[in-house]
């Protein structure tokens, strides 16, 4: 039954370049300039897919991005297939393959279609009510629902395409290149505003570009011809950038908009190669002009969803723009004059129009006479009460409307047709306007929501602003532009206009049928299969808020966000509940206006560019020496260095033993380093650390603990006094940025009188930490001239030295309890110094160790790790670190909070050591701790924070926070695990070398 319905050549279609494409496996032909929808319609294909819930056959309804039905899968047989593409937006190219969605096994025979007959049992909220109970059955239901419903297939392999982002700053952004947008952009650019004009279509001119209505003339020519001349002048205007195939997806505050520019989707495969597919434009505009037009509304009547039922404006566009007849027997159904324009347009192109059914009693528009002259029968005061034809519309039944519009009277007439254009009026496309945070107001007279008010940074013009008649549009546009752009005149304010005026109005949100509502299917949201019946049911069940009704019935929740049906949903709610539409308010339109691909959103931030990471200067050496890495914040840190097939446990045990037996070396470059200078540096440190700093001698180091103002431990580290007014502070690896921010905050806002300067120097120095009983000998080999005696270079002191002419700072500080030297070299010499240490350490079997061994060694000594043994609820007292809290200092950050009733109470969780009864059992970090096994409910006393098997003690050790732990030394507690209860004894937090003898050994 394939017919050629290309009825007239069109200037927008290149009939010299024939394109073949496949739909549902069958090959068709179209022309360059066709969309998939227009090309299919030219082949008389209307049936595109199945609806989501009832699996009803659905066809093409619209000619644009508002399409609810004709959504297809592109490249269905490829592993880079793309679902949910709108046939009305896809420009065909040689080799395009697409297929129906929502049908299984095929669009012509669909198992889920049985839902259509089960429809009485599938009312609103059906999924909520049925499948949620019993809970355990959900998995079974889910399989069935997903298999039969399905919203297309996801691609299965990595997206091979390239995506991009671009930032744009402009004076004026014009969204939409219909007649209003073009005139606005032209006048803005001509008046020296840097202007950007965007349109989602590939052609400029909106619906005016193919307008040949005798009754809509500008300067005595067709409005289309006049506009084409305007467009041809655009290229000579400086300051104007135009982007087509670019859809604005989101409009955020402060005129920040996101748009998707489609660059290659319309090209055939060989031309797409190595090109950017889509680009996300991040636009910051000083002024925004929304010229997004209006969307035609359908009419809500019984069985208004059959393939062949389309918007009247779409029928017109297919005929006027694409030269395609949507049917051979066309009729229209309307409540306004739009359908008459469409009908006349078809008639003038030789496409047969049999009838127009109008719910109004009459209209005195000039166009009526032309319709009568054309011999098209008009049925005034009539409505369609039913339609028939399963996979394609075949007939409509009409009846006379009662005076109140609530019922039908008289006898039924049947009209045979294969295409029905419906015209329910126009809705301004205010989606972007509302996204920007501005409010709408309801125009009771015309039944439309229009923008409430313009402001100095944003206006809505044309039909988006609520002007539908050409003369109104042009006049208001000119006045608005003069005001908005602060210009004295526009270049089009003197044009002469001629247009028909619509005078007669009648609106019925839900048209009656001769059947009771319960027996009809008047669809409101086509994509989600929500009917007027569902909305009424929701109201009967007590839903009142529009947002709730929307979610319960899923109206407006599809990929099209209910662009067509939202107004009817509101109207039906208002009518049923007896409230005014203006009082009901609208639902929120959320970004994106049309769906964005993930590729566009992430742009180039994929693979290794997904997230930033930092590597230390010794990184290459770690890789060469087979280190495993762990992520610490953004850093990639050497975790452990397995030899041959060592497991992590084996490697860590070996490294830990070696560091205490002879010598180990750790890359500590990631520790945060902040250079502090100024005459008040000492006073500053006094205020930020809990302990006293004024008396620290030059050349000495001190460990410090930093609190939040609430008294909880925030960070720790060693700070060294390099000079009278010069310190270098170290922070934890993960806390570096936060510490700097916090210190800057206090300096700028609380203590601006202090003379202190902070500089982050983390990246400037590489740090090699030499540790172990032989570390002194190794260092001696590297710097023989330096006196390393405990008298000259004691623990907690610092020397500035030169190694191979490289100036280095050496701190004798220890995080392992062993003698230890941290050599800080300028970052670019980090690897050289590291290799020098390894070379010098060879004879002592120096062992490189990673973060895991570092953690184990410090746990043996009971040194805390902020963020592991603390969690923002631990005070220094809780950590049993009372010694570091100065009693003498009048104030420091967090001091007052240590005397709050809550922080002073006895039974807070405190840091303790735990030893397992069986020394081989290693506890799990995070495991809960209890004192009674049989108590119910069981009281959780705390949890394990750090746990290791210590090779140096040959037993398991752990740190934990336990309620009242301070008073529990020696007490037996339990760790209940899945299969066993582990007995532990509370111990000191220091497990190894309690007297600290090794530090000076």
Partner 1 sequence: MFLINCPYCGERDQQEFKAGGEAHIERPKQPTELSDDQWAEYLFMRKNIKGVQFERWNHAHGCRKWFNMARDTSNDEIKAIYKMGEKPPPQ
Among residues 463 and 586, whose Cβ is nearest to partner 1? 586
Q: How far is the CB of 900 from partner 1 (least distance, A)?
A: 6
Q: Is 763 in the site for partner 1 (CB under 8 A)?
A: no
- Contacting residue, 109, 121, 254, 883, with partner 1 by CB under 8 A: 254
Q: How far is the CB of 703 from partner 1 (least distance, A)?
A: 24
Query: 7 CB contacts (<8 Å, ≥6 apart)?
Result: 319, 323, 324, 325, 349, 350, 351
Give how many residues touch partner 1 by CB under 8 A.
24
Q: How far is the CB of 709 from partner 1 (least distance, A)?
A: 6
Structure tokens that stand for 576 in this block: 């049923």
CA distance 778 to 793: 15
Among residues 139 and 611, whose Cβ is nearest to partner 1? 611
Q: Is 755 in the site for partner 1 (CB under 8 A)?
A: no
- Determine the Cα angle at 701 with ends 700 and 702, to 5°: 130
Q: How far is the CB of 708 from partner 1 (least distance, A)?
A: 10
Nearest-10 Cα torsion for 151, 156, 161, 163: 60
Q: Which stretch binds partner 1 (CB under 8 A): 369-377, 569-577, 747-755, 842-850?
A: 747-755
Kindly provide the b/e burial profile for residues 518-540, where b requires at least 16 CB atoms within 10 angstroms of the residue's own CB: eebbbbbbbbbbbbbbbbbbbbe
Phi, psi of 690 (to 5 degrees): -75, -25
Q: Is 744 in the site for partner 1 (CB under 8 A)?
A: yes
Phi, psi of 162 (to 5 degrees): -100, 135
- Contacting residue, 364, 373, 709, 994, with partner 1 by CB under 8 A: 709
Is residue 981 within a helix (H) or strand (E), and if so which, with residue range?
strand 981-987
CA distance 665 to 649: 18
Structure tokens that stand for 907 in this block: 């039974």
Phi, psi of 164 (to 5 degrees): -145, 160
User: What is the C-alpha radius of gyration for the chain, rounded to an integer number of angstroms?
Assistant: 38
- Contacting residue, 271, 541, 547, 745, with partner 1 by CB under 8 A: 745
Report cis status (omega within 30 of 0) of the bond before 592: yes
- Contacting residue, 157, 232, 253, 403, with partner 1 by CB under 8 A: 253
Q: How far is the CB of 874 from partner 1 (least distance, A)?
A: 17
Among residues 647 and 759, whose Cβ is nearest to partner 1? 759
Nearest-10 Cα torsion for 177, 179, 180, 186: 70
Grouping H, G, I as helix, E, B as strand and the rest as coil, residue 455 is strand
Among residues 361 and 709, whose Cβ is nearest to partner 1? 709
Task: Enter the DSSP assignment of 690.
Answer: S
User: In terms of Cα–Cα distance, which of 667, 675, 952 is closest to 818?
Assistant: 952
Q: How far is the CB of 748 from partner 1 (least distance, A)?
A: 5
Q: Which stretch binds partner 1 (CB under 8 A): 127-135, 374-382, 500-508, 737-745?
A: 737-745
Among residues 411 and 901, whose Cβ is nearest to partner 1? 901
Q: How far is the CB of 892 from partner 1 (least distance, A)?
A: 10
Kindly provide the b/e burial profile for residues 150-171, where b requires at least 16 CB atoms within 10 angstroms of the residue's own CB: bbbeeeeeeeebbbbeeebebb
Build a one-symbol-per-residue string for 427-446: x at contacts with partner 1 by CB under 8 A, - elsewhere.
----------x---------
Among residues 109 and 890, whose Cβ is nearest to partner 1? 890
Q: How far is the CB of 756 from partner 1 (least distance, A)?
A: 14
Among residues 286 and 615, whose Cβ is nearest to partner 1? 286
- Contacting residue, 3, 900, 969, 972, with partner 1 by CB under 8 A: 900
Q: Which stretch binds partner 1 (CB under 8 A): 534-542, 597-605, 652-660, 746-754?
A: 746-754
Q: Is 741 in the site for partner 1 (CB under 8 A)?
A: yes
Task: Specify the length of the chain in residues.
Answer: 1001
659 near 816, Cβ under 8 Å? yes
Build a one-symbol-per-residue string for 661-700: x at contacts with partner 1 by CB under 8 A, - elsewhere.
----------------------------------------
Q: Is 165 in the site for partner 1 (CB under 8 A)?
A: no
Q: Is 222 in the site for partner 1 (CB under 8 A)?
A: no
- Contacting residue, 476, 504, 677, 897, with partner 1 by CB under 8 A: 897
The CA-based diameter of the chain, rounded to the nearest angstrom, is 115
Structure tokens that stand for 229 in this block: 């001349």
* Of residues 836-895, those binding partner 1 (CB under 8 A): 890-891, 895
Report cis status (omega within 30 of 0) of the bond before 433: no
Q: Is 256 in the site for partner 1 (CB under 8 A)?
A: yes
Among residues 580 and 887, whose Cβ is nearest to partner 1? 887
Q: How far is the CB of 749 from partner 1 (least distance, A)?
A: 5
Q: How far is the CB of 252 from partner 1 (least distance, A)?
A: 5
CA distance 819 to 662: 11
Q: How crowded is residue 366: how many other Cβ atoms within 10 Å of its Cβ?
A: 14
Among residues 451 and 913, whose Cβ is nearest to partner 1? 451
Phi, psi of 167 (to 5 degrees): -90, 135
DSSP H helical segments within 810-892, as ranges? 830-841, 851-861
Among residues 457 and 933, whose Cβ is nearest to partner 1? 457
Binding residues for partner 1 (CB under 8 A): 252-256, 284, 437, 709-710, 741, 744-745, 748-750, 752, 890-891, 895-897, 899-901
């Amino acid at each position: 039954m394939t017919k050629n319905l290309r009825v007239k050549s069109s200037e927008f279609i290149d009939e010299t370049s024939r394109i073949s494409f496949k739909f549902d496996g069958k090959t068709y032909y179209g022309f360059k300039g066709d969309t998939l929808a227009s090309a299919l319609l030219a082949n008389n294909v209307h049936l595109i897919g199945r609806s989501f819930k009832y699996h009803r056959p659905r066809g093409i309804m619209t000619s644009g991005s508002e399409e609810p039905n004709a959504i297809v899968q592109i490249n269905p047989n490829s592993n880079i297939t793309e679902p949910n593409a709108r046939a009305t937006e896809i420009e065909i190219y040689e080799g395009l393959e697409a297929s129906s969605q929502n049908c299984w096994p095929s669009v012509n025979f669909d198992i889920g279609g049985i839902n259509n007959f089960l429809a009485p049992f599938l009312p609103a909220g059906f999924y909520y009510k049925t499948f949620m109970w019993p809970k355990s059955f959900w998995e079974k239901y889910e399989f069935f629902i997903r298999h039969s419903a399905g919203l297309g297939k996801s691609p299965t392999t990595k997206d091979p395409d390239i995506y991009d982002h671009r930032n744009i700053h402009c004076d004026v952004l014009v969204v939409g290149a219909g007649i209003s947008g073009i005139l606005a952009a032209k006048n803005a650019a001509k008046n020296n505003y840097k202007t950007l004009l965007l349109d989602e279509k590939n052609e400029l001119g909106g619906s005016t570009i193919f307008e040949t209505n005798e009754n809509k003339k500008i300067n005595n020519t067709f409005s289309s011809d006049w506009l084409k001349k305007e467009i041809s002048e655009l290229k000579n205007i400086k300051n104007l950038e135009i982007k087509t195939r670019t859809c604005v997806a989101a409009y955020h505050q402060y005129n920040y908009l996101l748009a998707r520019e489609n660059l290659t989707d319309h090209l055939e495969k060989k031309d797409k190669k190595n090109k950017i597919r889509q680009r996300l434009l991040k636009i910051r505009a000083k002024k925004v002009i929304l010229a997004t037009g209006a969307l035609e509304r359908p009419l809500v009547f019984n069985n208004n969803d059959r393939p062949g039922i389309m918007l009247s404006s779409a029928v017109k566009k297919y005929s006027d723009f694409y030269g395609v007849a949507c049917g051979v027997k066309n009729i229209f159904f309307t409540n306004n004059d739009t359908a008459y324009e469409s009908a006349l347009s078809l008639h003038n192109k030789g496409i047969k129009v049999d009838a127009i059914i109008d719910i109004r009693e009459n209209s005195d528009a000039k166009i009526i006479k032309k319709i009568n002259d054309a011999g098209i029968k008009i049925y005034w005061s009539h409505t369609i009460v039913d339609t028939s034809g399963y996979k394609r519309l075949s007939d409509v039944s009409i009846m006379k409307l009662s005076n109140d519009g609530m019922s039908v009277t008289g006898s039924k007439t049947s009209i045979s047709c294969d295409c029905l254009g419906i015209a329910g009026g126009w809705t301004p496309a205010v989606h972007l306007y509302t996204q920007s945070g501005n409010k709408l107001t309801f125009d009771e007279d015309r039944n439309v929501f229009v923008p409430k008010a313009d402001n100095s940074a944003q206006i809505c013009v044309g039909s988006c602003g609520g002007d539908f008649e050409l003369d109104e549009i042009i006049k208001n546009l000119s006045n608005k532009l003069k005001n908005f752009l602060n210009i004295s005149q526009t270049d089009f304010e003197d044009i002469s206009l001629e247009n028909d005026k619509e005078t007669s109005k009648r609106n019925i949100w839900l048209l009656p049928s001769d059947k009771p509502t319960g027996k009809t299917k008047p669809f409101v949201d086509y994509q989600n299969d929500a009917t007027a019946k569902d909305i009424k049911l929701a109201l009967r069940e007590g839903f009142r808020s529009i947002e709730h009704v929307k979610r319960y019935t899923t109206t407006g929740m599809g990929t099209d966000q209910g662009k067509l049906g939202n107004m009817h949903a509101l109207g039906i709610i208002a009518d049923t509940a007896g409230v005014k539409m203006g009082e009901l308010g609208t639902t929120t339109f959320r970004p994106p206006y049309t769906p964005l691909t993930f590729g566009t959103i992430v742009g180039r931030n994929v693979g290794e560019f997904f997230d930033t990471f930092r590597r230390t200067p010794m990184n290459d050496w770690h890789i060469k020496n087979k280190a495993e890495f762990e992520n610490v914040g953004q850093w990639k840190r050497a975790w452990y260095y397995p030899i041959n097939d060592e497991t992590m446990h084996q490697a860590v045990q070996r490294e830990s033993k070696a560091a205490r037996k002879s010598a180990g070396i750790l890359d500590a470059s990631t520790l945060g380093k902040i250079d502090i200078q100024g005459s008040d540096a000492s006073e500053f440190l006094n205020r930020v650390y809990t302990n006293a700093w004024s008396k620290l001698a030059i050349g000495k180091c001190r460990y410090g603990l930093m609190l939040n103002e609430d008294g909880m431990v925030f960070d720790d580290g060693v700070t060294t006094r390099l000079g009278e007014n010069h310190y270098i502070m170290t922070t934890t690896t993960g806390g570096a940025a936060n510490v700097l921010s916090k210190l800057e905050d206090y300096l700028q806002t609380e203590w601006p009188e202090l003379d202190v300067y902070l500089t982050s120097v983390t990246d400037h120095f590489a740090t090699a930490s030499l540790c172990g009983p032989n570390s002194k000998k190794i260092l001696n080999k590297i710097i023989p001239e330096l006196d390393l005696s405990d008298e000259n270079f004691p623990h907690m002191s610092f020397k500035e030295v030169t190694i191979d002419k490289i100036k280095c700072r050496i701190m004798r500080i220890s995080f392992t309890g062993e003698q230890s030297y941290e050599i800080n070299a300028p970052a670019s010499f980090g690897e050289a110094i590291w290799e020098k240490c390894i070379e010098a350490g060879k004879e002592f079997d120096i062992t490189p160790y990673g973060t895991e061994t570092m953690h184990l060694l410090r746990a043996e000594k009971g040194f805390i790790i902020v963020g592991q043994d603390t969690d923002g609820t631990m005070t220094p007292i809780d950590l049993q670190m009372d010694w570091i809290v100065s009693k003498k200092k009048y104030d420091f950050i967090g001091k007052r909070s240590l005397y709050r009733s809550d922080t002073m109470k006895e039974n807070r969780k405190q840091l303790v050591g735990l030893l397992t009864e069986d020394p081989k059992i290693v506890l799990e970090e995070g495991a809960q701790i209890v004192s009674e096994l049989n108590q119910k409910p069981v009281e959780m006393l705390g949890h394990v924070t750090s746990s290791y098997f210590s090779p140096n003690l040959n037993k398991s050790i752990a740190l934990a926070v336990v309620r009242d732990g301070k008073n529990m030394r020696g007490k037996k507690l339990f760790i209940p695990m899945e299969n066993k209860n582990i007995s532990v004894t509370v111990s000191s937090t220091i497990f190894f070398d309690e007297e600290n003898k090794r530090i000076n050994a």
